[in-house]
Structure 1
Amino acid sequence: MSIVVRDVREHELDSVLALNNAAGPAILPLDSTRLRAFYDCAEYFRVAERDGTLAGFLIGIGHRSEHDSSNFRWFRERYSNFFYIDRIVVASRRRGGGVGRAFYADAQSYAELRYAQMACEVFLDGGNDPVLLFHGAFGFHEVGQNVMPDARLRAAMLMKDLESYPWINETYGDALPKLPWVRQPRVALDAAAFVPMQTGTGL
């Protein structure tokens, strides 16, 4: 059956939390308070549904956020206009079935209207070659490495240029046309609502 990518619903947060904390070492655990902060403040928080069940989720934020993550800060110290994928999780039984690609296609269609680049990180400890290969195939490249001071995990910091953005920005600026397929951010970001979080990508 087809994959449906849509905004998360509040009653699904417990299921999202369970998916996150069952993802393995590629994703650091969340608690309900941190997840709720994402729900309240992340401009992109979407789930994938397949065969009527949740198959994964992706959370993304823009560079203007005050998100408290050492990896996010690493990017913000070096880049001025980017959309940061804080975490992507695909249920183990759905990996390799196209859910990750569906998420990234959807996230890029959102980001390229608003940002010059997409950013994310992949943990290097423990062997994450399949995840690195996935990101490389999707156009990401390594721009550095960062060791998270709290978790002591080394991450490859990845970026992807969004080639459509310069023309879109020059033509429309911040006044994007009100079209059905031009999704608006979920929420107006409230920086004060963010709590310290740890990140990662797990496909």
Structure 2
Amino acid sequence: MSPVPLGVVLVGIVEDMMYSVRALGALDLPQVLTLNNEAVPAVNELDADALAALVASAAHSVVVTSTADPATVLGFVIGFAPRAEYASENYRWFGARSNDFLYVDRIVVAPTARSGGLGQVLYGSVFEAARKAQAAEVFCEVNTFPPNPRSLAFHSRLGFTTIGEQSTKGDTVVVALLAAPV
């Protein structure tokens, strides 16, 4: 389902920075793990093995880099298609309601690259993958407790609407369950 086959690089310009989007590869995993764990609690903390397993079973996993420094990962997204072997409570919630989606499990942009348009670039890759798979919707969730108002506003600008709410992790996290048409 990935719109960016391994070895293929898409290039564009955002905020006067040339960027590339490419498949997330094994050499990217250490940087992706660092970015992921720096973004907690917006995303779940992972260890190296859990991250590798996620990427291996994902339908869509890409990184964005600057063309000036293609070895440095500025952001990433990992998504799943229906019927994946994935135990996430939120993924299961969406899977119980639809078989026609691409689920964004996690999307992270490095703190130094935020507000530069790269989140929108990464979501562009998600929507392109969903179109190629002929999926009807893109699903994701955003924390409402602990609150993440910046992410909720960002997703709203991209056309996501709330279709549910769920308490997870022993009632320590509450998420808004979001959907956007493809």
TM-score where L is the length of structure 2: 0.85
Task: Show the counterpart of 2:154.
Answer: 134
Which residue of the other structure, out of 146, 151, 154, is the alignment partner of 2:174?
154
Can you list the C-alpha shifts for 1:18-69, whole angstroms capped at 9, x where unaligned? 1111113212211111101022221211001024121011001101212110
RMSD: 1.3
Is the Cα contact below 8 Å between 2:74 and 2:110 reproduced in 1?
yes
- The sequence identity of aligned pairs, in percent, is 36
2:106 is equivalent to residue 87 of structure 1: yes
Q: What SS does the aligned partner of 1:100 have?
A: helix
2:8 is equivalent to residue 8 of structure 1: no
Task: Show the counterpart of 2:64.
Answer: 48
2:63 is equivalent to residue 63 of structure 1: no
Q: Separation in 1 of the partners of 2:50 and 2:76?
A: 15
Task: Show the counterpart of 2:165.
Answer: 145
Which consecutive segments of 4 or more residues in structure 1 shift more than 2 A?
149-152
Q: Separation in 2 of the partners of 1:153 and 1:129?
A: 14
2:55 is equivalent to residue 39 of structure 1: yes
Q: How much has 1:150 moved relative to structure 2?
A: 4.4
Task: Show the counterpart of 1:104.
Answer: 123
Q: What SS does the aligned partner of 1:25 have?
A: coil
Is the Cα contact below 8 Å between 1:3 and 1:102 reproduced in 2?
no
Q: Separation in 1 of the partners of 2:144 and 2:180?
A: 19
Cα distance change on mapping 1:80 and 1:43 into 2, 3 Å: closer
Q: Which structure's CA Rg is the greater one?
A: 1
Can you list the C-alpha shifts for 1:70-94, whole angstroms capped at 9, x where unaligned? 0000111112211000000100010
Q: What SS does the aligned partner of 2:64 have?
A: strand
* More contact order relative to length (CA 8 Å, sep ≥ 6): 1
Q: What SS does the aligned partner of 1:96 have?
A: coil
Is the Cα contact below 8 Å between 2:146 and 2:174 reproduced in 1?
no
**Structure 2 residues without counterparts, runs of 5 or longer:** 1-16
Equivalences for residues 105-124 of structure 1 within 5 A = 105-114=124-133, 115-124=135-144
Amino acid at match of 2:128: S
